[in-house]
């Protein structure tokens, strides 16, 4: 597994070196609007700890960090009023998933018909 790159864009956001459009924060989690939204609601939920990917996070994070991330996603969905119409949560891990930023993050998509679940390049 790749080691954590301290210069990735989300690390810079967490250090306050570049701004973000924050929607939620607690001891373990930061969430902000995606800079290039794919849907009317497109929120990124990230752990404050240094985890490269879902593989890293799921295997190395504490139970408290994992619980906090999913609780935060649930709170954000309710606060944004997207539960009734529905939403999609997605995490890209590694090359085949086209993960661009090597700091684990959940995407929350909502606000329109989200279409088919996935369109793979076979």
Give the nearer residue to ligand AMP in terms of CB position, either 7 or 36.
36
Residue matched to tokens 């990124």: 44
Measured distance CA(24)–CA(76) in Å, rounded? 7
Q: Which stretch binds ligand AMP (CB under 6 A): 55-63, 68-76, 93-101, 113-121?
A: 93-101
Q: Is 105 a catalytic residue?
A: yes
In the three-class reduction of DSSP (H, G, I as helix; E, B as strand; rest coil), residue 47 is classed as: strand
The minimum distance between CB 98 and ligand AMP, in angstroms, equals 5
**What are the residues whose beta carbons fall under 8 Å from the beta carbon of 112, sequence distance 6 or more?**
39, 40
Contacting ligand AMP within 2-41 (CB under 6 A):
9, 20, 32, 34-36
Query: Rule CB under 6 A: is residue 99 a binding residue for ligand AMP?
Result: yes
Contact (CB, 8 A) for 65 and 71: no
Q: How far is the CB of 51 from ligand AMP (least distance, A)?
A: 13
Cα separation, 61 vs 98, in Å, equals 22
Catalytic residues: 105
- Would you tell me which residues interact with ligand AMP (CB under 6 A)? 9, 20, 32, 34-36, 44, 92, 98-101
């Amino acid at each position: 597994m790749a080691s954590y790159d301290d210069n990735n864009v989300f690390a810079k956001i967490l250090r306050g070196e570049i701004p973000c459009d924050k929607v939620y924060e607690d001891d373990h989690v930061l969430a902000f609007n995606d800079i290039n939204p794919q849907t009317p609601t497109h929120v990124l939920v990230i752990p404050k700890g240094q985890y490269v990917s879902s593989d890293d996070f799921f295997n190395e994070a504490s139970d408290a960090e994992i619980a906090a991330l999913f609780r935060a996603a649930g709170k954000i969905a309710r606060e944004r009023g997207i539960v009734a119409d529905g939403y999609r949560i997605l995490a890209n891990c590694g090359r085949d998933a086209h993960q661009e930023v090597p700091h684990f993050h959940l995407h929350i998509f909502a606000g329109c018909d989200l279409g088919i679940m996935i369109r793979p390049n076979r």
